[in-house]
Amino acid sequence: MLFRLTILGSAAALPILNRHTTAQHLRINQTHILIDCGEGTQQQMLKYKINALKIDFIFISHLHGDHYLGLMGLISSMHTMKREKDLYIFAPKGLDEIIGIQMKYSRLHLNFKIHLQEVCNDAPTVIFSQSHFQVWALPMNHRIECYGYLFKQISNKRKTKPEYAQLFETMDSNTIKQLLSGKNVLNQLGELRYDYELLTQLLPVYSYAYLADTAFSAEIALFLAAQHVDWLYHEATFLEEDKERAEKTFHSTAKQAAEIAVLSKVRNLLIGHFSARYTKIQTLQDEAKQVFENTFLALEGSQHDINL
């Protein structure tokens, strides 16, 4: 199962040379997801060969410009490229009005339909579910209404337990197929012959949490720990030496992001949303790695396979 993240933008507030504002592309099998859509996202998609017409879902964390100002341009381009399939957008209250007023005054009549779902919850909540993944909205602690998102794979597929490899060699293909579909195999008398729960196990599933602009929140970290999250993206706008600035703006330091990773018990941490004041973002990674070793920079163009 493909579960791949591509970083499109990692800058906070302002685009600077070689760093664009926040945007990420997440692919789960054949489903293409855009997480936030800062200014310049279209150019980044072109650069990293992500087809805008394949985007199925867009999740906007909040309505600060560095997280959504590229959205209307992307929608307009989709229209110009003759998109026909529906587009699903999840965002806090207000985005529908923003899109509507721009379409009104540009007299834009789209070739496709937009389904815009307002995100509004004060606790972690499932806001979307499909056969192979689900999405949770996670309230963030920011200056305005803001949400992180948790993307979790769902799988009912099973694999054989290696300790029973010799037994499976004696079975016919129909018997194996039945066990792997989660069904017991009975004999001619209707008695249990093979127990699928004993001989097989569910394929592993993986998850990715995107924590947008937020102050430190141990409550969210404990929730993620209970969900057994594999990869965590957490904003790390400032260094610890600028912690006072982080607190005033409801942002986090690299050290705090790492502390959240420890509390969340994740395997890997990605940090991003870097302030333009830092020309050498390696210092943010160094600070985080002192607390959580498996810390990576959300470098533009970098890809991360969540299920590896």
pLDDT tens digit string along 172-207?
999 999 989 889 999 989 999 999 989 888 888 999
**E strands within the chain?**
3-9, 23-28, 31-37, 55-59, 87-91, 114-118, 125-129, 133-139, 147-153, 158-160, 185-186, 192-194, 200-202, 207-211, 231-235, 268-272, 295-297, 303-305
Task: Give me the percent of the chain exceeding a pLDDT of 90.
Answer: 89
Last residue of a domain, one of 147, 167, 200: 200
Residue-level pLDDT at 200: 85
Residue 164 pLDDT greater than 80, yes or no: yes
> Which residues share a beta bridge with 271?
234, 297
Number of domains comprising the chain: 2
Average pLDDT estimate for 104-108: 95
DSSP reduced 3-state for 86: coil
Residue 23's CATH number: 3.60.15.10
Question: For residues 1 and 205, what is the distance between their CA atoms, to the nearest angstrom?
Answer: 9
| 21/166 same-domain check | no
| 36/116 same-domain check | yes
Q: Does an H or E element contain 225, and which?
A: helix 218-227
| 175/301 same-domain check | no
Per the structure, the complete domain to which residue 130 belongs is given by 3-155+203-305
Q: Distances from the Cα of 203 to the Cαs of 15, 260, 278, 279, in angstroms? A: 41, 28, 42, 43
Residue-level pLDDT at 17: 79
Residue-level pLDDT at 202: 84
Model confidence pLDDT, tens digit, residues 33-91: 999 999 999 999 999 999 999 999 999 999 999 999 999 999 999 999 999 999 999 99
| 261/182 same-domain check | no
| 223/263 same-domain check | yes
User: Model pTM?
Assistant: 0.90
Residue-level pLDDT at 204: 86
Q: Are strands 268-272 and 295-297 parallel, antiparallel or unpaired?
A: parallel
Q: Distances from the Cα of 101 to the Cαs of 88, 93, 165, in angstroms? A: 19, 14, 62
Average pLDDT estimate for 219-241: 97
Sheet bearing 147-153, strands edge to edge:
125-129, 133-139, 147-153, 207-211, 231-235, 268-272, 295-297
Residue-level pLDDT at 156: 75
Write out the catalytic residue numbers: 66
Backbone angles phi, psi at 200, to 5 degrees: -130, 165
Average pLDDT estimate for 15-30: 93
Residue-level pLDDT at 136: 98
Closest CA to 215 of 273, 171, 166: 273
DSSP reduced 3-state for 206: coil
